[in-house]
């Protein structure tokens, strides 16, 4: 299964990288810069074919890629030869104007943004399935004795149904998550339905330093109705089936599925279970084991809310795709600011291994439920990765597209070329920064894989 996830992840990332490099490629050809090679993947070329003046390659390492333009490294040669300026040769990267180089640098991130709009537009045009939970909550403090969270301070109660946040109607768990996640440490007004009466509450989500997300300390209410039983799991051995409703465990009432966690906190080896099947009350026992103190997996999944979004017209889908892209773009920008607020960077910064795994994991999970859900889940996540790639490449850091754009803007306003020494120093700083970030991200990936086992 892991191999399948990796393959799906590599295919997905390959598409996003292809789009990015295609932007650079087409822009370079448009402004008169000769392209020598276009590669998907790095390292030794497994496949290559020259068409015209361009050699198309498939690299050994299928993460990343590049568009090699003629004369890209002439600044290094000029620096080594102690020249005062980079030679201007027609058809080369530095032989064209700084404005044209800006267009080429911007084209990669721009194509990623366009790709996200198109992908999301197609998804909204076709319509897609959403699996979510109810907007009814369970206080985390009820399951974690002695802990208090923003929800407790604000006066929330288990069973409350959140129906409005800052003036926006809330229908399900997804709506709540999208409202709270980007608003850590910001005061929010929420309206809840409590036993048929509406109550207004003011809450300030705390910052989860492991993810950078806002949280108020609630779980979401799921009725303890079994939707699936894992083969050979304790639940399967105990005879539980899809459709069963769990009533009690070790004599403790189970009104919602999260209550099971409280029963398992003391890690009992045997748990008596009472459940209802087709109106008949049945009893059985779960025999549990624990590995390194981790919570036992009893092998149950519970029913969620599933609905299919409406299908939009071509124009409506494009508008919706553009809106979703813009919303994700702004949310990603906000997320970047959290990197400077003390969050755990080893979990927040993902390297190529983790991103590949996440793409494949989301796709595999979706395909496990239905082909349509698999396609929409993978496409949505690829759109998110594409938007993130756009933003990261536009950061004004050396060697990134954004850094090169800054360099060319300076050259444009100066009215004459930058010295090779300046460009060389700028690029060297960029290589060191990116290499350091990659090492940090790979270290985080190793920790992620260790935790995933």
Q: Which residues are catalytic?
A: 21
Q: Which residue has the tokens 């190529």?
A: 352
Cα gap 249→264, rounded to integer Å: 9
Question: According to the 3-state scheme, what is the secondary structure of 294-313?
Answer: CCCCCCEEECCEEEECCCCC
- Say if CB 157 and CB 246 are below 8 A apart: no
Q: Which residue has the tokens 């050979």?
A: 232
Structure tokens at 429: 């700083």
Helix (H, G, I), strand (E, B) or coil at 351: coil
Closest CA to 349 of 368, 362, 336: 336
Closest CA to 63 of 7, 105, 2, 109: 7
Q: How far is CA 352 from CA 83, 374, 394, 437, in A?
A: 38, 21, 19, 12
Other CB atoms within 10 Å distance of the CB of residue 332: 16
Structure tokens at 314: 């071509």
Structure tokens at 427: 């690029």
Phi, psi of 34 (to 5 degrees): -70, 135
Helix (H, G, I), strand (E, B) or coil at 30: helix
Handedness of CA 254, 260, 265, 270 (dihedral sign): positive
Closest CA to 391 of 19, 103, 178, 113: 113
Q: How far is CA 393 from CA 180, 258, 452, in A?
A: 27, 41, 29
Cα gap 207→335, rounded to integer Å: 12
Distance of CA 344 to the CA centre of its chain: 16
Element counts in the chain: helices (H) and strands (E): 14, 18
How many C-alpha atoms does 437 have within 13 Å on its Cβ side? 16
Largest pairwise CA distance in the chain: 89
- Say if CB 216 and CB 138 are below 8 A apart: no
Cα gap 37→53, rounded to integer Å: 8
């Amino acid at each position: 299964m892991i191999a399948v996830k990796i393959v799906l992840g590599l295919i997905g990332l390959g598409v996003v990288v292809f789009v990015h490099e295609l932007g650079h490629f087409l822009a370079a050809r448009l402004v008169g810069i000769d392209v020598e090679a276009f590669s998907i993947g790095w390292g030794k070329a497994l496949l290559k074919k020259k068409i015209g003046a361009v050699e198309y390659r498939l690299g050994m390492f299928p993460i990343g890629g590049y568009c090699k333009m003629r004369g890209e490294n002439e600044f290094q040669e000029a620096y080594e030869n102690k020249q005062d300026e980079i030679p201007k040769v027609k058809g080369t990267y530095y032989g064209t104007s700084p404005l044209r180089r800006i267009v080429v640098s911007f084209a990669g991130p721009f194509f990623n943004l366009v790709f996200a709009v198109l992908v999301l537009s197609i998804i909204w045009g076709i319509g897609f399935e959403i699996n979510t939970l109810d907007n009814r909550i369970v206080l985390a403090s009820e399951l974690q004795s002695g802990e208090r969270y923003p929800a407790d301070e604000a006066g929330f109660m288990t069973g409350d149904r959140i129906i409005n946040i800052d003036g926006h109607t809330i229908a399900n768990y997804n709506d709540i998550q999208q409202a709270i996640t980007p608003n850590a440490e910001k005061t929010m007004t929420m309206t809840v339905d409590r036993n048929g009466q509406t109550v207004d509450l003011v809450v300030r989500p705390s910052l989860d330093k492991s993810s950078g997300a806002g949280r108020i300390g609630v779980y979401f209410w799921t009725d303890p109705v079994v939707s699936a039983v894992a083969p050979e799991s304790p639940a399967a051995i105990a005879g539980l089936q899809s459709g069963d409703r769990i009533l009690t465990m070790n004599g403790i009432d189970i009104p919602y599925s999260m209550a099971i966690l409280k029963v398992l906190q003391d890690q009992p080896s045997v748990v008596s279970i009472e459940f209802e099947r087709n109106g008949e009350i049945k009893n059985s026992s779960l025999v549990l084991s624990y590995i390194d103190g981790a919570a036992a997996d009893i092998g149950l999944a519970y029913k969620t809310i599933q609905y299919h979004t409406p299908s939009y017209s071509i124009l409506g889908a494009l508008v919706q795709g553009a809106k979703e892209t813009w919303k994700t773009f702004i949310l990603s920008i906000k997320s970047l600011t959290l990197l400077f607020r003390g969050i755990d960077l080893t979990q927040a910064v993902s390297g190529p291994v983790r991103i590949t795994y996440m793409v494949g994991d989301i796709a595999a999970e979706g395909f496990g439920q239905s082909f349509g859900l698999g396609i929409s889940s993978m496409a949505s996540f690829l759109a998110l990765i594409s938007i993130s790639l756009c933003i990261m490449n536009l950061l004004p850091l050396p060697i990134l597209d954004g850094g090169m754009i800054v360099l060319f803007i300076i050259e444009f306003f100066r009215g004459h070329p930058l010295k090779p020494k300046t460009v060389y120093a700028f690029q060297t700083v960029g290589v060191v920064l990116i290499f350091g970030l990659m090492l940090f991200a790979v270290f985080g990936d190793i920790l992620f894989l260790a935790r995933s086992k």
